[in-house]
Structure 1
């Protein structure tokens, strides 16, 4: 996981002004192991910054994503963000739908995808959703009672 200081350093290194709000965002993502919906981030920030707009929060999330500080994943219930992995190599994820635990996929499925000659890929995402061993066991234990 990245530390608060590493996140702030990454933002400052890209010329961003380091405001108290951005420090709070860095702290939130550094201390949250799973995924956060923009609304959750907005509610967290609203506790400390009255008058803060949802647009401002969302704009900061987008900036942090562009800087590879956080990652965006689209779930069935909407977009969520989490702290970017420490992986520097291009990779994808398997994500537990219950607890949000994330496992890296160590190869890129695009390498095995037949892309038509008349199509140019400029960006791709690949996530696999399911349940981790702990959540499967928890479900089995709850269902057995």
Structure 2
């Protein structure tokens, strides 16, 4: 998602445009990885020294509700990333070291298989994430050990 699209989405839903919100969205757009609320606060504090975790969490929750951000849980902590620009069905590979993500379009879950095993269950969607270490982090780890 582009920053301008995210800001338009806020405006269309009746939410105020603020510099803080734009800076938060820009951070996610620039990073294109899963980021914790703590990382967002650390990034924002130089420009907004009085910024609180409550403000960060309120905005993260709002952005998620408006489909500006996606959420996952890594190591027991919620993390967020900008919503994918691709609207086709896909899933993510997530690096546990740096938080970067890669899309993959092969889906291991068939709605037909679920319907056969659980005929009364109505599938409305699903999310599939694979956790591991990306090539860059693996190379860096190997070079540090050498």
TM over 0.5: yes
How big is the shift at 1:122?
A: 4.3
Q: What is the DSSP-based 3-state SS (H/G/I as helix, E as strand, rest coil) of the residue aligned with 1:82?
A: strand
How big is the shift at 1:30?
A: 2.0
How big is the shift at 1:18?
A: 0.7
Q: What is the DSSP-based 3-state SS (H/G/I as helix, E as strand, rest coil) of the residue aligned with 1:86?
A: coil
Give the corresponding residue for 2:142.
Answer: 140
Q: Structure 2 length as normaliser, TM-score?
A: 0.80
Give the corresponding residue for 1:23.
Answer: 22
Give the corresponding residue for 1:62.
Answer: 61
Q: Structure 1 length as normaliser, TM-score?
A: 0.81
Give the 3 Å change call, closer, same or farther, for CA 119–61 of structure 1 in structure 2.
same
For structure 1, the residue ranges without an aligned partner over 5 or more in a row are: none
What is the rounded CA distance, in whole Å, between the counterparts of 2:2 and 2:122 in structure 1? 37
Q: Which moved more, 1:47-56 or 1:78-87?
A: 47-56
Give the 3 Å change call, closer, same or farther, for CA 33–122 of structure 1 in structure 2.
closer
What is the rounded CA distance, in whole Å, between the counterparts of 1:133 and 1:20 in structure 2? 35
Aligned residues: 143
Q: What is the DSSP-based 3-state SS (H/G/I as helix, E as strand, rest coil) of the residue aligned with 1:24?
A: helix
Matches within 5 A, 1:17-56: 17-56=16-55
Q: What whole-Å deviation, never above 9, does each CA across 1:77-124 have from its counterpart, x for those lacking one? A: 411111111111232101122232312121433326535234444453
For structure 2, the residue ranges without an aligned partner over 5 or more in a row are: none
Q: What whole-Å deviation, never above 9, does each CA across 1:34-83 have from its counterpart, x for those lacking one? A: 22101121233333334433222111111111222111111124111111
Give the 3 Å change call, closer, same or farther, for CA 92–46 of structure 1 in structure 2.
same
